[in-house]
Structure 1
Amino acid sequence: MTRLSDIRISTLDLAPIRADGGPGQALRNSLELARHVERLGYTRFWVAEHHNMDGIASSATAVLIGYLAAGTSTIRVGAGGVMLPNHAPLVIAEQFGTLETLYPGRIDLGLGRAPGADQYTAHALRRDRAGSADDFPADVEEMQRYFGPRTPDQRVIAMPGTGTGVPIWILGSSLFGAQLAGMKGLPFAFASHFAPRMLHEAIRVYRNHFTPSAVLDKPYVMLGVPLLAADSDERAEYLATSAYQRILALIRGQSLVQRPPVESMEGLWLPHERQAVGDFFGLAVIGGPEKVRARLEVLLEQTNADELIFTSDMYDFADRLRSYEILAELHRG
């Protein structure tokens, strides 16, 4: 059986903005968190592309990755991920080729096919570029060519980028990404931190379709996990109410700035909203150290994942730091 100490652990950060804060503090916190988990032995620190969301400061993903890589020394830094329909592949290849050139051996590029935005934001991002999720497989192949060795007949190159071999991950919250990642022999990161329903089927599809490639000889699965760890179960349940409120706001189309925890969610949500928030956090790990350990052992027994990447949406930054400390202590055994 796979044990927690046998796998890699990593961090996914959205640079959350507090109700009483601003994007500057959120970005500085992101760097401090990256340094914190680097000291604790985490493998990678990823940030995600989101647009038109007042509670998330990680929209300019490549720029933020440069800031994080410059302020750390060993941890891998990357995108979890870049939503490729929003961008021309050449532009992303140049950005991440530049990052890899500046910070060799430390950059990851996770690619997603969802737009990550509403139709109005998508139009603002793309204007006349008719990017579509249907283009995703071809766009991934184009990206691989830009990072590979230059060929004699190659008319367009990414500079920097050519020959850098930036590791590409396929991200997914459905079966499409799982199948594509398997067929291309690429590592697969499943977004179970917000879409846990398809988890087991996606892993099965990925492993069944896996074809060895130049980058992987066997499947590699990373799972996103919401982490709300504290020194006691009661404390963790209390702190988790901030995360519940944020997803409730997402469902309602309200502001996504972080809200302080509350003693009870009763009266804040309707029954169907409580169910929807519960579904969103279906894979969440909430509790004190022993509860967290038990929950993660069950997850690993069920999935045999190779790596877990954790997001911790807590209002007070000190609580987020402690949450990752508790996990690191469990990981060390």
Structure 2
Amino acid sequence: MNIPLSILDLAPINKGQSVGEGIAASVALAQRAEAFGYRRVWYAEHHNMSSIASSATSVLIAHIAANTSTIRLGAGGVMLPNHSPLTIAEQFGTLASIHPGRIDLGLGRAPGSDQMTARAMRRDPGSSDRFPDDVLELQGYLSGKSLVPGVTAVPGQGTEVPLYILGSSLFGAQLAAAFGLPFAFASHFAPASLMEAMAIYRRDFQPGAQLTEPYAFAALNVIAADSAEEAERELHLVKRARVSLLYGRSGRTFTDEEADLVIESDAGRQIEQMVRYSAVGTASEVRNYLDEFAELTGADELITAHQASTTEFRLRSVELTADAMATV
């Protein structure tokens, strides 16, 4: 099966790396993705996480766009309730003006953080409820048909930056269908509602200004290696890293032994559930899994999250996956 492949880059700061080194690794990944024919790379807005460097999402996209030439880049996504629609329209309108035809804007309604961090960002507790209206307001700014009298986005007006609704529940599917927008399901970490959400999106889709037919993405984890044993070892390292991500806030760190104990405990079931959809193995094994996953979900495009403990391993996974999927 030939299906477009894209990448979700969580902009990881691996153990022993500085933030600058982590960002440089994301530049290298985008360059490698461009060279190997991936359609796009997206970056997610996360806050107060010591191992993720994509909190200032639009700034990171600008830097990577300046160091690549053709690949599409975007947010996967901006957590819109953290911001005013006008601010995001101006930021992504600026990006689209500098890099025309290359910028995507995926939108989510989660905080991308914990409650204390949301408070530090001055997030309004009721902002999630306004998400549908904020999406329409943002779309108005970017199309040049502002819904706010006397207010235009400059830059932004008329750039028509394409919008994508992201979700890990049924709400995003319903909203994307109602607004006639593409939909991306975050099954790389929240797989439970994947199939139902995809079905609802396609069943209820209403054509809009951006799309006349539904277009759905499904995300999954990918660990491609030169041997199956190497891939399985890397998967275990990824699970250890998830322990720190889930349970290591406020400076809490885990030794490898402690992380393994968490993985083996009841708490580890959440981590196992998060990686339910994961293509792990050699290039041919990964291709087989991706083909089956695409057929299962009916996705129009796959978002691959290449999980790895080192930059070198992640880049190798990107290469092996692209080569395998290009082989007929």
TM-score tier after normalising by the smaller chain length: over 0.9
Question: 1: distance between equivalents of 2:152 and 2:60?
Answer: 24
Query: Is 1:8 aligned with 2:4?
Result: yes
Report the equivalent of 1:53: 49
Q: Note closer, same or farther for the CA distance 1:170–1:26 as it changes in structure 2 (3 Å cut).
A: same
Q: Note closer, same or farther for the CA distance 1:291–1:255 as it changes in structure 2 (3 Å cut).
A: farther
Question: 2: distance between equivalents of 1:19 and 1:182?
Answer: 40
Deviations 1:118-169 (A, max 9, x none): 1111111126x55521110000000010011246983111000011100000
- After the TM superposition, list the runs of 4 or more consecutive aligned residues in structure 1 that deviate by more than 6 angstroms: 255-260
Report the equivalent of 1:102: 98
Question: 2: distance between equivalents of 1:59 and 1:104?
Answer: 23
Contact 1:246-1:258 at 8 Å conserved across structures:
no
Report the equivalent of 1:291: 285
Query: Is 1:86 aligned with 2:86?
Result: no
Query: Is 1:206 aligned with 2:201?
Result: yes
Letter in 2 for 1:106: R
Q: CA deviation at 1:254?
A: 4.3
Contact 2:224-2:279 at 8 Å conserved across structures:
yes
Gap runs ≥5 in structure 2: none
How many percent identity over aligned positions? 49
Contact 1:100-1:166 at 8 Å conserved across structures:
yes
Q: CA deviation at 1:301?
A: 1.6
Q: CA deviation at 1:11?
A: 0.9
Question: 1: distance between equivalents of 2:158 and 2:223?
Answer: 40
40, 57, 64: which one aligns with 2:60: 64
Q: Note closer, same or farther for the CA distance 1:55–1:219 as it changes in structure 2 (3 Å cut).
A: same
Q: Say which SS state the counterpart of residue 266 (structure 2) adopts.
A: helix
Q: What TM-score results when the alignment is normalised by the length of structure 2?
A: 0.94
Q: Say which SS state the counterpart of residue 272 (structure 1) adopts.
A: coil
Letter in 1 for 2:322: A
Letter in 1 for 2:199: R
Contact 2:220-2:279 at 8 Å conserved across structures:
yes
Question: 2: distance between equivalents of 1:85 and 1:159?
Answer: 21
Gap runs ≥5 in structure 1: none
Q: CA RMSD in A?
A: 2.2
Question: 2: distance between equivalents of 1:275 and 1:152?
Answer: 46
Deviations 1:248-295 (A, max 9, x none): 2233234799999x79x7545333133221100000111112221221
Report how many residues are paired.
Answer: 327
Q: What TM-score results when the alignment is normalised by the length of structure 1?
A: 0.93
Q: Note closer, same or farther for the CA distance 1:83–1:70 as it changes in structure 2 (3 Å cut).
A: same
Q: Note closer, same or farther for the CA distance 1:131–1:88 as it changes in structure 2 (3 Å cut).
A: farther
17, 20, 41: which one aligns with 1:24: 20
Q: CA deviation at 1:39?
A: 0.3
Contact 1:229-1:236 at 8 Å conserved across structures:
yes
Question: 2: distance between equivalents of 1:239 and 1:76?
Answer: 28
Q: Say which SS state the counterpart of residue 267 (structure 2) adopts.
A: helix
Alignment of 1:198-277 (within 5 A): 198-254=193-249, 267=261, 269-277=263-271
Q: Note closer, same or farther for the CA distance 1:301–1:122 as it changes in structure 2 (3 Å cut).
A: same
Q: Say which SS state the counterpart of residue 137 (structure 1) adopts.
A: helix
Contact 1:87-1:126 at 8 Å conserved across structures:
no
Q: CA deviation at 1:328?
A: 0.4
Report the equivalent of 1:197: 192
Question: 1: distance between equivalents of 2:6 and 2:230?
Answer: 23
Q: CA deviation at 1:223?
A: 1.0
